[in-house]
A and B are shown apart, each in its own frame.
Chain A
Amino acid sequence: MIRDTIRPGTILRVLVLVALIAFLVAPERFAGLLAPLTTNNAPPIYNQGSLVDLTLSHLFTVAISTLAAAVVAVSLAVFVTRPAGREFLALSRAVVNIGQTFPPVAVLALSVPAMGFGEAPTRMALFLYGLLPIFENTLVGLSTLPPAVVEAASAMGMTGRQRLLKVELPLAMPLILEGLRLSAVIGLATATIGSTVAAKGLGEVIIAGLLSNNLAFIVQGGVITGVLAVLISDGFQAVARQAAKKSGTRPQTET
């Protein structure tokens, strides 16, 4: 049933978002709040760069790697569920699984000599890390469609391509979005370690805090990352719920 009433959860999320933006735009106003965490008159607010810039480049790194992972993972899942690609299913599962089991730190360490310092190794690590959830979810989505619906699509005279674009992908969309959500959230957290190889992002704040023994830096870097992850995760869930509601299949449980 469609309810148009505003849920308390929605209000809470909006408040959290407003608080986050306020902090990013004018962090010095919150200095008093963080000051108790510092010692020896250390600055309570990160002062070696703009928090807004760091947040935006952090988000950009995650967005671009998740997007790339989505394109590759969805294409691969589509390919291995077609008759022509079925025999590659096991192989691609293995490849994608390796991407996931490789620790991101190891990816960074190995790719710096090849790609140099900066954003590139981080994006590579996030890309590899993001493949598995999207691939597995898309695979489940495409292979658990109601058989009667898929058969009807063929029987109505859809070509393979029409069936994929008009029926299979739209029906698998709630699960694909769920995979994207997982990848984005994992990526958001993992991207912080990118700062060890000089990628611009919120990891800088945390690492600066660790180096200078400044708990206030660690907390603000960590909390911004965490809040972003929660909000993005919620956003994806809302879109997935909408998609599921519309398709009338796989209604997602409210969280």
Chain B
Amino acid sequence: MIELSHLTKVYGDIPVVNDVDMTIATGTITVIVGTSGSGKSTLLRMVNRLIEPTEGRVFIEGRDVSHLPAHELRRSIGYAIQNHGLFPHWTVARNIATVPLLLGWDREKVRARVAELMELFQLDHDQFADRYPHELSGGQQQRVGVARAMAARPALLLMDEPFGALDPIIRAKAQADLKAIQRRTGTTILLVTHDMAEAIHLGDRIAVMDGGLLKQYAPAADILARPADAFVDDLIGVVDRPFHYLTLGTVGAAVEPGEADGAPLNADASLYEGLGALLWSGRKAAPVVDAAGRDVGRVSLDSIAERAARPT
């Protein structure tokens, strides 16, 4: 568990982060979303003390982070940033090995861990281990950056706009991969973004920041259903709200008994994808199959539409 208590950072007379209290559960993805200048990156950087707070404390598993030497603290926390910050004079393998080597792991263990991570992030070891960062594509650099952040198996991973420099198609894949990897490793992730869709897609909980203040901190569904104020409302976007809402539920949750024609939908696809498939194929309903391919019923436009409406 990570606890931010009365966290404040003042530059000159201006509070960039203003008295933020937050508790982050272990093993979850928490997304801090806000416009530029909202203080979200500053908040993130105070967790691993790249920025020292003016006031307030950060506790990780009950331990005050200010009691550890900063470099030791940072070796126990993963960190990935927008422009990946890979060391340009080191190979991919050496970059990924940064923190394990700082921690003094023995060579064999480091080599095994690098190979394991490169496989996890779909980077062919033989092809990429000895390449330099400038020889990689943007998506590959980003994956190396995240692999480097996770190399020493940190329990906590901080990510500052990690997908900001990627094009939309690669970004969607990188988000899905991150989510899958997080489910496997159980790493606690604290991620900063300005993109509400990304926040809703990735976050178990979403923290909305504006002007240094924490405006709302709640699961995505609550943020969508009950935005705390006009700013949160704006950030979500009135037009997009029902569609955001549909990305949260699965087709499986909207299944009703009955039959329908045409290609079946997967029960674990999102309602958003289900709606898209129905609209595009011009059907009112489609059969639904589970992961094993068994018929479990059907989903209709009406049942999806019900779930896009504001909850009462």
Contacts and interface: CB of A to CB of B under 8 A. Distances in A.
A245 to B, nearest CB: 9
A156 interface: yes
Contacts of B48: 155
B75 A157 contact: yes
Interface in A23-69: none
B74 A156 contact: yes
A170 interface: yes
Interface in A127-175: 146, 148-149, 151-159, 162, 167, 170-171
Interface of A: 146, 148-149, 151-159, 162, 167, 170-171, 246-249
Given A149-B87, A152-B87, A248-B133, A158 B71 contact: yes
Interface residues of B, number: 26
A156 B83 contact: no
Nearest to A151: B85
Nearest to B132: A248
Contacts of B73: 157
A162 B88 CA distance: 16
27 contacts: A148-B84, A148-B85, A149-B88, A151-B81, A152-B79, A152-B81, A152-B86, A152-B87, A155-B48, A155-B74, A155-B85, A156-B74, A156-B102, A157-B71, A157-B75, A157-B76, A158-B71, A170-B89, A171-B88, A246-B132, A247-B88, A248-B88, A248-B89, A248-B132, A248-B135, A249-B88, A249-B89
A158 B79 CA distance: 13
B99 A156 contact: yes
Nearest to B151: A156
Contacts of B132: 246, 248
Contacts of A148: 81-85
Given A149-B85, A155-B85, 12 more contacts: A146-B83, A154-B71, A155-B79, A156-B74, A157-B71, A157-B72, A157-B76, A157-B102, A167-B87, A170-B89, A248-B88, A249-B134
A177 to B, nearest CB: 14
B98 interface: yes
Nearest to A243: B89
Contacts of A153: 85, 87
Nearest to B148: A156
B8 to A, nearest CB: 22
A171 B87 CA distance: 9
B50 A154 contact: yes
A174 to B, nearest CB: 10
Contacts of A247: 88-89
A170 B90 CA distance: 10
B263 to A, nearest CB: 45
A146 B88 CA distance: 10
A204 B13 CA distance: 67
A116 to B, nearest CB: 46
Contact of B71 (A152, A159, A167, A248): A159
B95 to A, nearest CB: 9
Contacts of A157: 71-76, 99, 102
A151 B45 CA distance: 11
A162 B84 CA distance: 20
B139 to A, nearest CB: 17
B102 A162 contact: yes
A156 B84 contact: no
A156 B98 contact: yes
A39 to B, nearest CB: 58
Contact of A149 (B79, B86, B99, B148): B86
A162 B83 CA distance: 22
Contacts of A159: 71
A30 to B, nearest CB: 46
